Structure 1
Amino acid sequence: MQKWTKQIELPADQMVMTLSQLMQQWSLPRRIRGQLRQNKRVLLNGNYQPVSTLIQPRDKVSFTFLATDFRHSQSGYEIDHRDHLDILYENPDFMIANKPGGIKTHPNSPGEVGTLLNFVQGYLQKITGKAAYMVHRLDEGTSGAIIIAKVPFVVPMLNAQLKTKRIQRTYLAWVKGRMEQAAGTIKMPIGRHPSNDRLRQIGGLAAQDAVTHWQLLETRGSTSLLQIQLETGRTHQIRVHLAALGHPLLGDRDYNPKAIDRRLQLHSNTVSLILPFSQTDLTVKAPLPADFIHPSV
């Protein structure tokens, strides 16, 4: 059975707490914490200790994870070397890549290639025990920063950060029309389109709450550049919400049939998170691609 080992040396300013509290602080799921404890797969300074043991600065904590700890321990993406991978940040556990607009995040069918995760799989193929694991996705037309795990044990930790909004993402979008306000919040539920499963609409089938915050950065002619932050993460949320306001994204042929721009003008500009197995903040910014309408300031 495949296994993964992770060793962490605690920093000099580490607060004294129990090993159990440390694992909770690191957002290791309760089920996995239980497996590690019951099977003595968590070591403190090389020896098994009860999770009630107090940790100290500079202690070494080691975990051994097994495939059975995870719902998806195998990534299974086909290898594809055809595209250059632009990596904005990388450590042994995950990376933040700069996704080009016009390629899908992940395959939708077995054997499919040509997606970002296929390219990451090709990049990682020579690194033993490393593979591409999806944490979140960007629409095919969206460019910019995206988090991709390289080992399965950080996926639930990063998912926990998404759920608790400790991962923050900001987007840039050019929209049709001039905004009447400097900023605003859109609160409209989003559900599936009744006749097209690929699309979403306000209300719709199985609608869920959706909240989008936007700020006007620039107006150019009859278009506006917005900075956007999501409070929820529904499929096509930014595109559906702005279209509902009467300001569809430029290049969005799904929600603005009259769009003439070559690409969807939506860019994942920054990603902020807490590094797994630490309390260190990380913010990564993705440069604007050449086919994004650049601001004049």
Structure 2
Amino acid sequence: MDTIYAPPQDPLKIIHMDHEILVVDKPAGLLSVPGKGEHLADCLIARIKAVFPEVLLIHRLDRDTSGVMIFALTPHAQRHIGLQFEKRQTKKTYVAWVQGHIAEKTGTVDLPLIVDWPNRPRQMVDHENGKQAITDWRVVRYTEDQTRVRLMPKTGRSHQLRVHMLALGHPIMGDPFYATGVARVAPRLMLHAEQLRLRHPDGGAGLSFTAKCPF
């Protein structure tokens, strides 16, 4: 794993903003929250706080994943949307390129996950001690040696999509933790949070936010 942290310096891409929430398109390579140490202080929430000091964290995306991320601008919004995530009332859709051809067109991975302590932050399947993790997937198209898939996680475990695709035998291209050989050869982790659907904390109206896939 490359330990040099050189996050992109793209300007903030705001998808939506109102009196309760802020939705942004996170670039790949930028931490959602600060890591340990001054060299990992630059992150998405720090950049947002420079403009919106009241911003509050609700959820995270992995450093190498791009796409839709929602932040709260009030404690009420943080609680309200946090509960939606906790109760699995949000709907998340990701796009990924994986190695090889997935034979079936759709399916579900239901494999419990736990942190692989000696190799953290890697996660692993553990049927005895792991926490439930479920991912629906659907093939979009094939190239000569890859499959483009849509991934719809039902749970929100760390590295869930990455480990579940690996368990299918089709690691996500460019994954520095789980891909090996030719699958590691990609300009970035080919995983993008394309869409997030939830209810607005003020009134409960259904909302859908989309960030165009950059690959």
Report the TM-score when normalising by structure 2: 0.90
Q: 5+ residue gaps in structure 2? A: 1-8
Tell me what 1:87 maps to: 14
1:277: Cα distance to partner?
2.0
Tell me what 1:179 maps to: 102
1:114: Cα distance to partner?
1.5
Alpha-carbon distance in 1 for matches of 2:17, 2:109? 34
Tell me what 1:169 maps to: 92
Which structure carries more relative contact order (alpha carbon 8 Å, separation 6+)?
Answer: 2
Say which of 112, 121, 136 aligns to 1:189.
112
Tell me what 2:45 maps to: 117
Alpha-carbon distance in 1 for matches of 2:44, 2:128? 30
User: C-alpha deviations, 1:117-144, integer Å up to 9, x for none?
Assistant: 011101214xxxxx22111100111000
1:153: Cα distance to partner?
2.1
Distance 1:262 1:114, change over 3 A: same
Alpha-carbon distance in 1 for matches of 2:176, 2:10? 25
Alpha-carbon distance in 2 for matches of 1:281, 1:274? 4
One-letter identity of the residue aligned with 1:262: P
Alpha-carbon distance in 2 for matches of 1:190, 1:143? 22
Q: Which moved more, 1:151-160 or 1:265-274?
A: 151-160
Alpha-carbon distance in 1 for matches of 2:10, 2:97? 27
1:206: Cα distance to partner?
4.2
Q: 5+ residue gaps in structure 1? A: 1-81, 126-130, 293-297
Report whether the alignment pairs 1:105 with 2:28.
Answer: no
Alpha-carbon distance in 2 for matches of 1:192, 1:148? 26
Secondary structure of 1:269's counterpart equals strand
Check conservation: 2:10, 2:27, Cα contact below 8 A: no
User: C-alpha deviations, 1:169-218, integer Å up to 9, x for none?
Assistant: 10001000101101000011111114122110111894111100000011
Tell me what 1:5 maps to: none
Secondary structure of 1:282's counterpart equals strand
1:159: Cα distance to partner?
1.1
Give matches, 1:11-160, under 5 Å: 83-109=10-36, 112-125=40-53, 131-160=54-83
Check conservation: 2:92, 2:153, Cα contact below 8 A: yes
User: C-alpha deviations, 1:8-59, integer Å up to 9, x for none?
Assistant: xxxxxxxxxxxxxxxxxxxxxxxxxxxxxxxxxxxxxxxxxxxxxxxxxxxx
Distance 1:102 1:205, change over 3 A: farther
User: C-alpha deviations, 1:78-101, integer Å up to 9, x for none?
Assistant: xxxx65110001111111100000
Tell me what 1:221 maps to: 144
Alpha-carbon distance in 1 for matches of 2:204, 2:115? 38
Tell me what 2:4 maps to: none
Check conservation: 1:214, 1:229, Cα contact below 8 A: yes
Secondary structure of 1:148's counterpart equals strand
Percent identity, aligned pairs only, is 28
Check conservation: 1:171, 1:267, Cα contact below 8 A: yes
Alpha-carbon distance in 1 for matches of 2:129, 2:46? 31
1:157: Cα distance to partner?
0.6
Say which of 200, 209, 228 aligns to 2:132.
209
Larger Rg: 1
Count of paired positions: 204
Q: Post-superposition, which runs of at least 4 consecutive aligned residues in structure 1 deviate over 4 A?
A: none
CA RMSD of aligned residues (A): 1.6
